Structure 1
């Protein structure tokens, strides 16, 4: 079995140690000969990388580990680039959340104006990573889960249509793991799902076990009472804002009871009460900075100082295990069924063929084969058309440097009540994103 060289682009992410640990824990299924980290923030990456160096030395000393800020060194001799950029870091995420909230509009990092702002920052750097990969390792695959995945996916479709990039998101996986625990199954892999939508904007239409027995009704019964809230302490999202989103699935199911919803639909369909319950001074970004950021960096400094990682980063998160499943499917032609963000091209028959949709695909050594989802109902189709228009306008605004199109994109978002409010938010976001966005005319 061929051993793989993996580059984690965005090595300064708090998820990096978990990905490294998961790679090492899965060496039998996905052998690795080399792990590299790349980031443009040398100081931030170094703290995490020094801990990762200890993790690798303890758990798989035969694996070559390195980290760098030099693109040529990073991208040379790699088979997979796992991209997890956060352009502007959490300081800019805080702006993405707090500026819309100032105008009583949902403040969320991937939805509404905040997601559009983040998308405008992310497009250029993702394209830069693709170009580095194609220059130094043209046969590599980029597995991208940098947010906002929908806008990034549309940008790569427009700007690098022939690149070997696959866009993914771990949120449906996280919810499927919750469903599996509710059903007392070993893992989500004991289920087979049908799902369609856009990233952070989708619905499950069928969930069955390996024998084809329906599981939807049992899950719906749980969701109708508690949403996706559970008693089990596992999972990566346990802050109060996330628990609120999990509970909101109960109301989302009432709106559309024939399917099971992605929790992010809360920001579009329950926008007023989301804003009403929001703390405008202390948002999700603040929660993450005060908890996960502090915990991960404190732990990594401790590992580097003590020279041992025992007891830390032992458990894989949904985030890291999913991306390794995808890499394994591509490397060894496993034909695994996975949710990916891909160009529609008729998979959803009555929807824009150029839309980047999130649907099940069969993954093998030549890439992915999307499954046909058929026609979708008027309710979902209408919501998706409005949302995909906002995403496409955002990418057009970035390409053309168009103020008008970005104003239209924010106006188009279901989270925004009027074009007047959209303009007020946009003007504030332009001010906050100086140096990150292209100049708009």
Structure 2
């Protein structure tokens, strides 16, 4: 059985240990000969890497492990690049969230002005990763789950159209895990779904079991009363702010009871509610810095200090199993059905063919084969057209270095009340992102 060489780009991320644990747990179906971490922040990566080295030695000592800040070393002799980079780290995420909130606008890392700011920071570095991969390992695949996935996906479509890049997101996985729990099933793998939309902006139209029985009525009954809140939930989304998001899904559901919604729609359909329930001084970025960030780095330091994981719990990132599913589908041509962000190309008949849509695809060795969705209702189509225009304008702004296009993008976001407010937010974000964004003119 062939063994694979993998580089995790964003090696200093708090998610890296969980992803490594998940790769080790799935070694039998996706064997690894070499695992490398790559990051441009040496100090941060070193803590994660030294703990990861101990994890690997204890579990699968035969895997060659290394970490580096040198692109040539990182990207030479790899089969898969797993990319989850956060440009500007949590300090910039905090500004993405707090600057819009000052103006009474949703402050969120992937939605609204904050997501646009983050997108402007992410485009260049993700393109850089693609270029490194193509230079040093031209046959490799890049599995990108760096946020904001929608803007990044549109940028890769435009700027590197022939590259072997797959854009994916774990949010539907988290919701499907909850669906399985609501239904009393062991795993989301027991569900057969149909879904369409954009990243963080979509709807389930069918949820069946493997025998073809319709599970939507039971799910709708639960979602109408409790949203996606369920006993046990899922391991990744446990903070109070997430609980509110899962509960709010019951109101989002009411806007179209024929489907089941992605939770992120609350930011677009109920922005007033979101702002009202946001703490302008202590946002999600602060929760993460004081919670997961601190916990993961403290855990890694403990592992390094005692030279083993004995008595220390390192969480397996269950969500990340979809990355292994994707890599396995490509490596072994398994034809697994997975949600990916791909060019529409007529899959949604009455929608822009160049839009990057999130739809089920059959994944083969040569990449994804999108399933045909057909026509979508006017409500969803209208919302999606507005949001796609925002994403395309952001990429225009990055390519053309255009202040004006970025102002238009923020103005068009459903989370922003007017062009005046859009300009105020843009000017402050522009100041905060000097050195990260291209020089706008």
TM-score, scaled relative to structure 1: 0.99
Q: Deviations over 1:256-293 (max 9, x none)?
A: 10000000000000100110011000000000000000
Does the 8 Å contact 1:7/1:81 carry over to 2?
A: yes
Q: Deviations over 1:148-187 (max 9, x none)?
A: 0000000000000000000000000000000001111110
- The equivalent residue for 2:222 is 222
- The equivalent residue for 2:114 is 114
- The equivalent residue for 1:210 is 210
Q: Which moved more, 1:337-346 or 1:313-322?
A: 313-322
The alignment status of 1:366 with 2:359, answered yes or no, reads no
CA distance in 2, matches of 1:276, 1:75: 46
The alignment status of 1:415 with 2:415, answered yes or no, reads yes
Residues 140 and 58 (structure 1), Cα distance of their counterparts in 2 relative to 1, 3 Å cut: same
CA distance in 2, matches of 1:384, 1:269: 12
* Partner SS, residue 264 of structure 2: helix
The alignment status of 1:47 with 2:47, answered yes or no, reads yes
**Counterpart mapping for 1:298-337 below 5 A:** 298-310=298-310, 312=312, 315-337=315-337
5+ unaligned residues in a row in structure 1: which ranges?
none
Query: How far did 1:317 drift?
Result: 2.3
CA distance in 2, matches of 1:121, 1:420: 23
Query: How far did 1:234 drift?
Result: 3.6
Query: How far did 1:314 drift?
Result: 5.3
Does the 8 Å contact 1:17/1:313 carry over to 2?
A: no
Does the 8 Å contact 2:299/2:314 carry over to 1?
A: no
CA distance in 2, matches of 1:314, 1:86: 22
CA distance in 1, matches of 2:311, 2:355: 44
- The equivalent residue for 1:74 is 74
* Partner SS, residue 204 of structure 2: strand
Does the 8 Å contact 2:12/2:39 carry over to 1?
A: yes
- The equivalent residue for 2:378 is 378
5+ unaligned residues in a row in structure 2: which ranges?
none
* Partner SS, residue 263 of structure 1: coil
Poorly superposed stretches of 4+, deviation over 6 Å: none
Residues 111 and 233 (structure 1), Cα distance of their counterparts in 2 relative to 1, 3 Å cut: closer
Query: How far did 1:388 drift?
Result: 0.3
The alignment status of 1:102 with 2:102, answered yes or no, reads yes
CA distance in 1, matches of 2:282, 2:315: 29
Does the 8 Å contact 1:202/1:262 carry over to 2?
A: yes
- The equivalent residue for 2:288 is 288
CA distance in 2, matches of 1:260, 1:247: 13
Query: How far did 1:322 drift?
Result: 1.0
Does the 8 Å contact 1:170/1:318 carry over to 2?
A: no
* Partner SS, residue 256 of structure 1: coil
* Partner SS, residue 197 of structure 2: strand
CA distance in 2, matches of 1:60, 1:223: 42
- The equivalent residue for 2:158 is 158
CA distance in 1, matches of 2:191, 2:316: 19
How many residue pairs are counted as aligned between the two chains? 441
Query: How far did 1:364 drift?
Result: 1.3
How big is the alpha-carbon RMSD for the aligned residues of Structure 1 and Structure 2? Answer: 0.9
TM-score, scaled relative to structure 2: 0.99
